[in-house]
Amino acid sequence: MQINLQGKNAMVCGASRGIGNAIAMLFAQLGANVTLVARNAAILERVVRDLDTSKGQKHDFIAADFSKPEELKEKLRLKVNEPKVYNILVNNTGGPPAGLAIDAELHEYTLAFTNHLLCNQILVQTLVDGMRASGYGRIINIISTSVKVPLKGLGVSNTIRGAVGNWSKTLANELGKYNITVNNILPGATETDRLKQIIEGKASKQNHSIEEVNNEMMEEIPLARFAKPEETAFAAAFLASEYAAYITGINLPVDGGRTPSL
């Protein structure tokens, strides 16, 4: 079994660093033409240069800020009007800041809803016709294990993840007949800037050292270590491939066993 994404066009969001970046790098290695999406054009230009082109793959990017959904819509319209059919979409962006649900201001919930759910909806609506026409669609949402069990101190994040999880399951029901699958990856603690910020935040709040927080977090993980972003990317590559053709509407935790439920 060898995953081959040659001839497939993939749009990977939040691709300038972390999990999205690892997915973009792997999809390119597997032969896909990749369109990166994130905010900073200069960084994206650099990432495009790092992507594998040994099989003639062509890569590009869209610089867009998910907190401005109308701008994203317009930039996508121009790109997808080329016309270019995308077969694979990875919905992913930065997670909401940590904090208790009870303390969060209304605008924090609105922003999280915009960045995560509304932008995902814009992306799917823009790409779905091409997926339908090509007969091959893979929508992969990078969410969080809080879809299954809320995480302490991540109130806004827990809330919005539930919404994205249910949106995704509903889409899986609606789009299956077009050979479009919709699945969620639920990362556990993964070595990225996001995890670094969360650990630093916990350390300063609890007056613990970074090492103490690391150890406390690892004690909750049966595999006793944090994930590498590449390990999440392997799961995404499988879901994007032809081998996952009969898998839709699922949550796939890549969390070292941390989630305390099935």
- Contact set with ligand NAD (CB under 6 A): 14-20, 38-39, 65-67, 92-95, 115, 142, 144, 187, 189-190, 192-195
CB of 7 to ligand NAD, least distance (A): 26
DSSP letters along 171-235, please?
Answer: HHHHHGGGTEEEEEEEE-SBSSHHHHHHHHHHHHHHT--HHHHHHHHHHT-TT-SPBPHHHHHHH
Of the pair 171, 199, the CB lying nearest ligand NAD is at 199
Whether residue 243 contacts residue 3, with contact meaning beta carbons closer than 8 Å, is answered with: yes
- Nearer of residues 33 and 146 to ligand NAD, judged by Cβ: 146
> Nearer Cβ to ligand NAD, position 136 or 151?
151
What is the phi/psi pair of residue 54, to 5°? -65, -15
Calculate the CA 233 to chain-centre distance: 10
Tell me if 254 sits within 8 A of 231, measured CB to CB. Answer: yes
Pick the closer one to ligand NAD by CB: 236 or 244. 236
Torsions phi, psi for 129 (to 5 deg): -65, -40
Cα 157–Cα 158–Cα 163 angle in degrees, nearest 5:
95
Q: Which is nearer to ligand NAD, 39 or 169 (CB)?
A: 39
- Residue 183 to residue 200: CA distance in whole angstroms: 31
Cβ 209 to ligand NAD shortest distance, Å: 19
Rounded to the nearest whole angstrom, what is the least distance from the CB of residue 180 to ligand NAD in the complex? 22
Q: How far is the CB of 255 from ligand NAD (least distance, A)?
A: 8
Q: Residue 168 and residue 257: Cα distance in Å, rounded?
A: 23
Q: In the numeric block, which tokens belong to residue 107?
A: 């605008």
CB of 18 to ligand NAD, least distance (A): 2
By beta-carbon proximity to ligand NAD, the closer residue of 93 and 181 is 93
Reduced 3-state DSSP string for 26-74: HHHHCCCEEEEEECCHHHHHHHHHHCCCCCCCCCEEEECCCCCHHHHHH
Compute the least distance from the CB of residue 142 to ligand NAD, in Å.
5
- Give the residue with the Cβ less far from ligand NAD, 136 or 194: 194
Min separation Cβ 56 and ligand NAD, Å: 26
